[in-house]
Amino acid sequence: MTGGPRAALVTGATRGIGRTVARRLAQEGYDLTLTGRDPAALAEAAAELGGLGRRVEVASADMAAEHDVRRVAQVHRAAFGRLDALVLSAGVGSSAPLGGYPLKRFDKQFTVNVRAPFTLIDECIDLLRATAKEVPLSGTKIIAISSITASAPEPGLAAYGASKAALIALCEAVNTEASADGVTATAICPGYVDTDMSAWMHDRIPPAEMITTGDLAELVLALTRMSAHAVVPQIPVVRAGSQLWRA
User: CATH number, domain at 158?
Assistant: 3.40.50.720
Whether 214 maps to a domain, the answer reads yes
Pairwise pLDDT comparison (50 vs 33), residue with the higher score: 33
The pLDDT value recorded for residue 195 is: 79
pLDDT average, residue stretch 83-91: 96
pLDDT tens digits, residue range 49-85?
989 899 999 999 999 999 999 999 999 999 999 999 9
Provide the pLDDT confidence category of residue 2 given band limits of 50, 70 and 90. Answer: low
pLDDT surpassing 70 at residue 87: yes
pLDDT surpassing 90 at residue 247: no
pLDDT tens digits, residue range 185-212?
999 999 888 777 777 777 788 878 888 9
Instruction: Please check whether residue 190 is in contact with residue 237, taking contact to mean a CB–CB distance below 8 angstroms.
Output: yes
pLDDT surpassing 60 at residue 1: no
Torsion 97-63-111-126 (CA) sign: negative
Whether 137 maps to a domain, the answer reads yes
Whether 171 maps to a domain, the answer reads yes
pLDDT surpassing 90 at residue 9: yes
Whether 1 maps to a domain, the answer reads no
Pairwise pLDDT comparison (247 vs 224), residue with the higher score: 224
Provide the pLDDT confidence category of residue 156 given band limits of 50, 70 and 90. Answer: confident
The pLDDT value recorded for residue 194 is: 78
Provide the pLDDT confidence category of residue 213 given band limits of 50, 70 and 90. Answer: very high
Whether 210 maps to a domain, the answer reads yes
pLDDT average, residue stretch 155-172: 95
Whether 245 maps to a domain, the answer reads no
Rounded Cα distance between 205 and 192, Å, is: 9
Task: Please name the residues in contact with 191: beta carbons below 8 A apart, sequence gap of 6 or more.
Answer: 147, 148, 210, 211, 237, 238, 239, 246, 247
pLDDT average, residue stretch 29-51: 93
End-to-end CA distance of the chain: 42
The pLDDT value recorded for residue 138 is: 96
Q: What is the mean pLDDT of the chain?
A: 93
Q: What's the total number of domains in the chain?
A: 1
Domain residue limits at 72: 7-237
Give the rounded percent of residues in the chain with a pLDDT score beyond 90: 78
**Helix, strand, coil shares of the chain as percentages rounded to 5?**
50, 15, 35
Whether 182 maps to a domain, the answer reads yes
Whether 16 maps to a domain, the answer reads yes
**Among the listed ranges 54-68, 86-100, 144-158, 233-247, which one has the minimum average pLDDT value?**
233-247
pLDDT average, residue stretch 168-177: 98
